Structure 1
Amino acid sequence: MNKNINLLEGNILPSLTKLAFPIMATSLVQMAYNMTDMIWIGRISSNAVAAVGAAGMYMWFANGIATLSRIGGQVKVGHSIGESNIALAARYAKNALQLTSFLGILYGVLSLLLQKPLIGFFRLNSPSVIADARIYLAITCGLVLFSFLNQAFTGIFTAMGNSRSSFLATAVGLVMNIILDPVLIFGIGPFPEMGVAGAAVATVLAQAVVTLMFLLFCIKDTFLFRHVQIFKAPDFPIISELIRIGLPTAVQSMIFSGISMVIARIISGFGDAAIAVQKVGSQIESISWMTSDGFAAAVNSFVAQNYGAKNTNRVRLGYRCAMTVVLLWGAFTTFVLFVFPEPVFRIFITEKELLPMGVDYLKILAVSQLFMCMEITTAGAFNGLGRTIPPAVEGIILTAARIPLALLLILTPLGLNGIWWAITISSILKGVILFGWFLLHMKKHLKEESPLPSAKNTV
């Protein structure tokens, strides 16, 4: 049975949601994957959370590097499928995977060689926190290749209109992680107690299982991967094209991660406990942005295929449908985080002295959730058109503005909360500005087709 969804014909909303829901479910699984780690680590101590929070910044930075090949591969595979050129789509997929493998190995080696100065950047206070952070960094980033490959496979399968395989692979990884986390962290049965190192090992093993699942799906695929000659020499012109498309988004993501590291360094001035609060709060907040990112991936593929097929009306209508869904989701997450911050935060850290800081974080960041969903989905639409520069430029400028704004606001009576307000204000501006930019782009470059498609082909 063909698992690929036809994005070029038929009702838009059902097609888009059929593709999006498995991706959103995959994002929720990934969120649960990260939260499982955080829940168990939180049972060790807030110091352990701070250690993972610091080291985890470099995994976040790694995701930006992985975006270089994932976005380029997803966009060009989608365009090629829209043009009915499967052989070209297979060449893009092959080169995307080869580029991903090279980047993953390189990042892993550098992480092992530079772990001491990388963790030293955050100026952590406790020697035990520093030691745990270095261990977590060495394991998760040293073996980051699996994470890189999983992202590349997810992008390619999504471009094919097959988001179900990504969901199944990630779900298996989640189950693996749920089982391994308590066993390796606390030492159950014959396994020794490994603490933070156990959480890192559990994460890497689960990611390796996900990679294995993707390889099995590739072997069974008869649409695209049977044409992929992975061991054939790289096509450097194609790799250059993948880099050209993926570079703006990758640079944006890496700069965003770098800015977040600077923000974390500012936060560390309020103590290791503040770092722990920020780490837990961002994990909770991911219920919004990871789900939106999943929907944006579906929008990316929908727009890419229809843009490649010159179905500009479907591009416009697909974006409208997507925005309706994500705005509803953003409003829901705003409500949950603002109304129930205390019980949500208690799931992860039960230390009473940290609770007021956690509640403040969630309430302040709740204000920006709807706008963050708007920005992420619009960026997905821009990327699907191959126009990766607008969201990158806008994102870099306004994210960078968080640093001077945070430094200014912490001097006011807001104190630590000034940092959270700097993040919220920039997120609101990013959502509004990118949304307006995309509307202007559609008006200028995506001309209405005539005649308009019938109602049955729209929603």
Structure 2
Amino acid sequence: MFESTNGSKRRRDIVAFTWPVILTNLLHTLTITVDMMMLGQLGGDLGRDAIAGAGLGGQVVFLSHSIMMAVSAGTIALVARHTGAGDREKAGRVMEQSIVLGILLSIPLTLFGWFLGGQALGLFGAEAGVHALGEIYIKYVFMGTIFSFFSFILGAALRGAGDMKTPLAIALITNAVNICGNYILIFGRLGFPAMGVQGAAIANTIGFLVGALAYVYLLFAGKLVIKLPALRKWFDKEVIRRIMKIGTPAAAEQGVLQIGFLLYTAIIVYFGTAALAGHQIGSRIQSLAFMPGMGFAMAATALVGQNLGALKPDDAEESGWESTKLAVLVMCAIGIVMFIFAEPMARLFVDDAETVRLAALWMRLQALAMPAIGIHFTLSGALRGAGDTRWPLNVSIIGMFVVRLPIAVLIGFMLGIGVLGAWIAFVIEYNVRAAIIAWRFKKGAWKTIKV
């Protein structure tokens, strides 16, 4: 155990790492939430269908992000390890090859979104009007894949090196452009036609374009904490192999989750458009509520990786546990707020009484899972920082396909409880996840993994 002074310093380090990450993720998620709120202001059935369509489209978009996770997870773990060892040259090489890999992967994904996104959306079995709006959303968001990948990967590299503030500054720019674009293009301001869902998607792409251009300027002006290597290699097989060795399980984890989310959403769709719209609203609030947990997870990833690089495995373990304690405290507070103010938050999106009732019910159930979510997120991040990305994958498979989906079907359909049963399954799942991931971290096998 460490003395209290060391513990206090560690907590300060964790908070210093965490708050810019929380704000960065919060800004991205807040922008999606503002999208939904503005679409809801279209009013009546149109607003409800726009929220449902964009929400379904977003599920397909997030599935593509599982591929981006392969690069960013490998990037942050390797950059953190090299930074902890004091080797900035190798950290720069990892960043360089991550950019190359991200660009190469984004091209086929853009083509997929434009030509096949509608077919993927058909898996939900949504009503025709909702499907049509979702297809429009997918096409125009996927146009910005190369820009979003570039931004996420650069942000991961900088966080691995300990720079949490530059990604925050870029996020401020990206999301300010996005929100302004939403207002102009959704409602038709400043001489532009009112585009609704299409306008929200185009604004998203423009925002990421501006953010990517800001990163390009900082990168080639030499203003980032990590520099590109003096001798450029446009495709370094060994570095890319190391990135993908760590990142592939992380990508598989995200892929598993997104497929699970698609199936889970298909269950929700069965209970009607009001249930789906309520689910999408509650999920947008959930995304905001998750941000502190994700912030502590990112801090744990960077601190564990850097401490292992500096050959301090005990410090790495203490950083993981301390990050988790702080995450649970914050997530509990968020859960209390969600439980108390569920209905007023739902009314920010729509005025349909049934949709508000269902969204509030969904949020209150999520609130019960917040402590477990804090544990799961943070310790999963700690394991990723050590390069132990297979266990978060294993836990995600168990949580989604052994716990959540079967219980949702059992309680929701077979016992006749309806959409409430599907949402109860979510609470059970995260408690199971938290227990397994805590057991894995406590064992300590991750301390000897070579990256």
* TM-score for the superposition, normalised by structure 2: 0.93
Tell me the residue number matched to 2:420: 417
> Post-superposition shift, 1:445?
4.8
> Post-superposition shift, 1:122?
1.1
SS for the counterpart of 1:190 is: coil
- Cα 1:222/1:181, change in 2 over 3 Å: closer
Alignment-mate amino acid for residue 25 of structure 1: L
> Post-superposition shift, 1:281?
0.7
Pair 1:296-2:297 in alignment: yes
Q: Separation in 1 of the partners of 2:292 and 2:204?
A: 20
RCO (CA 8 Å, sep 6+): is it higher in 1 or 2? 1
- Which segments of 5 or more consecutive residues in structure 2 lack a partner in the other structure? 1-5
SS for the counterpart of 1:369 is: helix
- Cα 1:288/1:229, change in 2 over 3 Å: farther
Q: Separation in 2 of the partners of 1:441 and 1:226?
A: 34
| Aligned counterpart in structure 2 of residue 79 of structure 1, from 78, 81, 84 | 81
State whether residues 60 and 121 of structure 2, in contact with CA within 8 Å, keep that contact through their aligned partners in structure 1. Answer: no
Query: 1:159-174 counterparts in 2 under 5 A?
Result: 159-174=160-175
Q: Separation in 1 of the partners of 2:303 and 2:156?
A: 12
SS for the counterpart of 1:220 is: coil
> Post-superposition shift, 1:440?
1.7
| Aligned counterpart in structure 2 of residue 436 of structure 1, from 427, 435, 439 | 439
Tell me the residue number matched to 1:221: 223
SS for the counterpart of 2:274 is: helix
> Post-superposition shift, 1:413?
4.1
SS for the counterpart of 2:444 is: helix
For residues 233-271 of structure 1, what are the alpha-carbon distances to aligned partners after superposition, in whole Å with 9 as ceiling and x for unaligned?
211121111111011111011110001101111111112
Alignment-mate amino acid for residue 190 of structure 1: G
Query: 1:12-161 counterparts in 2 under 5 A?
Result: 12-44=10-42, 45-125=47-127, 127-161=128-162
- Cα 1:178/1:397, change in 2 over 3 Å: same
Tell me the residue number matched to 2:255: 254
- Cα 1:217/1:19, change in 2 over 3 Å: farther
- Cα 1:113/1:337, change in 2 over 3 Å: same
> Post-superposition shift, 1:290?
2.4
State whether residues 60 and 117 of structure 2, in contact with CA within 8 Å, keep that contact through their aligned partners in structure 1. Answer: no
Q: Separation in 1 of the partners of 2:242 and 2:72?
A: 12
SS for the counterpart of 2:124 is: coil
Q: Separation in 2 of the partners of 1:223 and 1:373?
A: 30
Tell me the residue number matched to 2:373: 372
Tell me the residue number matched to 2:3: none
State whether residues 94 and 229 of structure 1, in contact with CA within 8 Å, keep that contact through their aligned partners in structure 2. Answer: no
Q: Separation in 2 of the partners of 1:299 and 1:203?
A: 29
Alignment-mate amino acid for residue 173 of structure 1: T
Q: Separation in 2 of the partners of 1:290 and 1:228?
A: 37
Q: Separation in 2 of the partners of 1:132 and 1:269?
A: 19
- Cα 1:302/1:129, change in 2 over 3 Å: same
Tell me the residue number matched to 1:354: 355
Alignment-mate amino acid for residue 400 of structure 1: F
For residues 56-106 of structure 1, what are the alpha-carbon distances to aligned partners after superposition, in whole Å with 9 as ceiling and x for unaligned?
101111221100000101111111111222221111111111111111111
> Post-superposition shift, 1:175?
1.3
Q: Separation in 2 of the partners of 1:345 and 1:141?
A: 28
> Post-superposition shift, 1:295?
2.0
Tell me the residue number matched to 2:268: 267
Tell me the residue number matched to 2:389: 388
State whether residues 183 and 191 of structure 1, in contact with CA within 8 Å, keep that contact through their aligned partners in structure 2. Answer: yes
- Cα 1:222/1:31, change in 2 over 3 Å: closer
Higher alpha-carbon deviation: 266-275 or 240-249: 266-275
- Cα 1:403/1:238, change in 2 over 3 Å: same
Tell me the residue number matched to 1:450: none
> Post-superposition shift, 1:224?
2.0
State whether residues 180 and 202 of structure 1, in contact with CA within 8 Å, keep that contact through their aligned partners in structure 2. Answer: yes
Q: Separation in 2 of the partners of 1:432 and 1:235?
A: 39
Q: Separation in 2 of the partners of 1:73 and 1:167?
A: 18
Alignment-mate amino acid for residue 89 of structure 2: A
State whether residues 90 and 225 of structure 1, in contact with CA within 8 Å, keep that contact through their aligned partners in structure 2. Answer: yes
Between the aligned residues of both structures, percent identity stands at 24
Q: Separation in 2 of the partners of 1:222 and 1:147?
A: 19
Q: Separation in 1 of the partners of 2:222 and 2:101?
A: 23
For residues 182-235 of structure 1, what are the alpha-carbon distances to aligned partners after superposition, in whole Å with 9 as ceiling and x for unaligned?
1100101211110100000111111111112222222232642242666x3211
Query: 1:396-407 counterparts in 2 under 5 A?
Result: 396-401=397-402, 402-407=404-409
State whether residues 53 and 133 of structure 2, in contact with CA within 8 Å, keep that contact through their aligned partners in structure 1. Answer: yes
Alignment-mate amino acid for residue 331 of structure 1: C
Q: Separation in 2 of the partners of 1:273 and 1:153?
A: 39
Q: Separation in 2 of the partners of 1:169 and 1:220?
A: 16
> Post-superposition shift, 1:10?
10
Alignment-mate amino acid for residue 326 of structure 1: A
State whether residues 93 and 228 of structure 2, in contact with CA within 8 Å, keep that contact through their aligned partners in structure 1. Answer: no
State whether residues 173 and 206 of structure 1, in contact with CA within 8 Å, keep that contact through their aligned partners in structure 2. Answer: yes
Q: Separation in 2 of the partners of 1:417 and 1:437?
A: 31
The Cα RMSD (Å) is 1.9
Structure with the bigger percentage of helix: 2
- Which segments of 5 or more consecutive residues in structure 1 lack a partner in the other structure? 1-7, 447-459
Q: Separation in 2 of the partners of 1:12 and 1:221?
A: 28
Q: Separation in 1 of the partners of 2:254 and 2:230?
A: 28
For residues 111-159 of structure 1, what are the alpha-carbon distances to aligned partners after superposition, in whole Å with 9 as ceiling and x for unaligned?
212123112111111x322221111010112321111111101110101
